[in-house]
Structure 1
Amino acid sequence: MENINLKSLEAFRAIMQTGSATAAARQLGLTQPGISRLLASLEQLVGFQLFYREHSRLIATDEAKLLTSEIDLLLNNADRFLALARNLHKTETGSLTIVAPHSFSSGPLADAVASFIQLYPKISVSIESHSPQTARDLVAQRSIDCGFIQLPETHPGLIIKPMLDSELVCAIPAEHPLSNRATMNLTDLSHEPLVMLGQGRPSRQKLEKLFQQNGVIPKIRLETHSVATACAYVQRQLGIAIINRVLAQQYLNSQLKLIPLEPSIHHHYGFIYSAYAPMPKLVAAFCQHCTQFFSTNDYAF
């Protein structure tokens, strides 16, 4: 069986991006005939046409469109292989790609990454945010080095290290009559308009079950999947939000207070990396750093 030529894949991606062999050649520093030969070689390998010509443009076939994401994955993995090979024995240099939920990235992860870069100032860090399922798959496939995800997690391609814990709190307008309470229980919220997050998610289902057990029918005014958005609505006095403490702390200001919820409901987060290869040294150093950082900065699991 003929081997895949990475140059042919690069030519394919460049044509998809530019729409012409001439522009693709310019992008890759090759000649137009060279691009055409690489494309012909790839078409011969797969057994069907990938583009058809319309005037001076190359238009992707339906088959080519279906292959695009897989070819991107192959080329990204090739780039990561080269980066790993160059930095295999180095911890002080290299690149690190991390995936995490957006609110986590801008809150606790930002603090951990900032302190890690102080220790390793020559490294470069890329932060990505994807749906939980995509994040799991990208880390398992080693397209992303590591990440953080809400537990429990059972993906067979991941190794999970419990890392930090956070309880739910009530985000309340600073001028609200209940804002001086030491704690807030579900009965206190029975007549208050609420801003709720995570509809359909396990943590939301757990909260709804507690409401039911306490005989409280929540008055939901707004639904959102963003902690930042929930806090923005609270600051505009549209309701009380029930949110994750460590994710909410970054949005605290004079218009907003956080009050512990009783009974306490906790969210747990884990550090994830691929189970299909040994942990690279830079990832291991970051994992160790995060373990220490979160254990000493009010994030303890």
Structure 2
Amino acid sequence: MKREPNRPLATLGVRALETLSEVMRTGSATAAAANLGMTQPGVSRTLAQLERTIGFELFYRDRGKLVPTKDGRLLAEEVEFALAGLQRVANLADDIANSAAGELSVVAPPSFAEGVLPAIVASFLQKHPGVRFNLDSRSLETSRMMIATRVVDCGFMKMPIAGDDLHCEPLVSSGSACVLPARHPLAAHEVLTPDLLRDAPLILLGSGRQWRIQVDQAFAGYRLRPTVAIETHTHGSACALAARGVGIAIVNRLLARAYLRDDLVMRSFAPPIVHQYASVTSINLHGSRLVSAFLDEARAELAKIAPDD
């Protein structure tokens, strides 16, 4: 038997391969037809067409029975691998369509990545266990560049955010608070003002940044200057130092939540200083199911862990 001219092997149809596999498995064209939702003559025609395409016989016809040839068995073994591979492709396509597989890269400020994102990522991966996750922490400018150039899929940044190459969506707002040991005399107050903190050694973050300028302005409103005992750069270190009793930390309430321990309490700081964060993507990112699912999860989780901020 010769192959049909001008019929490359690449034109072998998936249906024909499925038919061959089912006939090999069941040993009967009738049984194969029932399993595949075909008629018995349809199975016979499909096998005959396949034989003409490949140029050799797959079965002997012996008194109405189909007996596999040696070449037929050899081809059928490879067909099983091919069909299994196609099924894996179909399964992966379904997973991607349902945001159940793939890879997601996210960048965020260190304190946000350490204090807020673990709960969001854990909740997201519980629903999408096939996703590979990469979480990075960089400076503001580096984060902005990584998001704009799509080195990462999305990120979280403190507002305001400059740049017409970014799409920003406000995500969560948080007030400011003081973290101090539960045994500290000032822990008796629900709200701590610069006047109450006038003689207290303070642990402050973000020297030279807008947040720090706002703290200084709050004290200036009382004609005071903060007594800075320690300058630091992360909420984790600020809370750890407060736990040691070396000072009272003035922090972002949302970011400090993760570092509270039994011996620490959080008290509101007034006048209010509000921190607003946004989810950020490249203006050129369109229709990513995985990013949309992750940001939806972030909004839902933040609504639970920061309902009052």
- Could you list the structure 1 runs, at least 4 aligned residues long, displaced by more than 2 angstroms after superposition: 85-90, 295-301
Larger Rg, first or second structure (1 or 2): 2
Using structure 2 for the length normalisation, give the TM-score: 0.67
Specify the SS of the correspondent of 1:260.
strand
| Aligned-pair CA distance for 1:90 | 5.2
Query: Structure 1: where are the runs of 5+ without partners?
Result: 1-84
Match for 1:117 among 99, 118, 125?
125
Structure 1 position 220 matched with structure 2 position 228 = yes
Is the 1:165–1:299 contact (alpha carbons within 8 Å) kept by the matching residues of 2? no
Is the 2:115–2:259 contact (alpha carbons within 8 Å) kept by the matching residues of 1? no
Taking the TM superposition and a 5 Å limit, the aligned residue runs for 1:120-139 are 120-139=128-147
Match for 1:100 among 99, 108, 114?
108
Using structure 1 for the length normalisation, give the TM-score: 0.69
Match for 1:229 among 230, 234, 237?
237
Specify the SS of the correspondent of 1:161.
strand
Match for 2:263 among 247, 255, 260?
255
| Aligned-pair CA distance for 1:215 | 0.8
Specify the SS of the correspondent of 1:196.
strand
**CA deviation vs aligned residue, 1:225-252 (integer Å, no higher than 9, x gap):** 1111111111111111100111111111
Structure 1 position 241 matched with structure 2 position 258 = no
2:155 alignment counterpart: 147
Q: Distance in 1 between matches of 2:210 and 2:94?
A: 42
Measured at CA, do residues 198 and 299 of structure 1 come closer, stay the same or move farther in structure 2, by a change above 3 Å?
farther
Taking the TM superposition and a 5 Å limit, the aligned residue runs for 1:54-73 are none
Specify the SS of the correspondent of 2:246.
coil
| Aligned-pair CA distance for 1:292 | 2.3
1:184 alignment counterpart: 192
| Aligned-pair CA distance for 1:166 | 1.1
Query: Structure 2: where are the runs of 5+ without partners?
Result: 1-92
Give the counterpart letter for 2:148 in structure 1: A
RMSD: 1.9
Identical positions, percent = 34
| Aligned-pair CA distance for 1:254 | 2.1
Measured at CA, do residues 86 and 273 of structure 1 come closer, stay the same or move farther in structure 2, by a change above 3 Å?
farther
Aligned residues: 217
| Aligned-pair CA distance for 1:295 | 2.4
1:165 alignment counterpart: 173
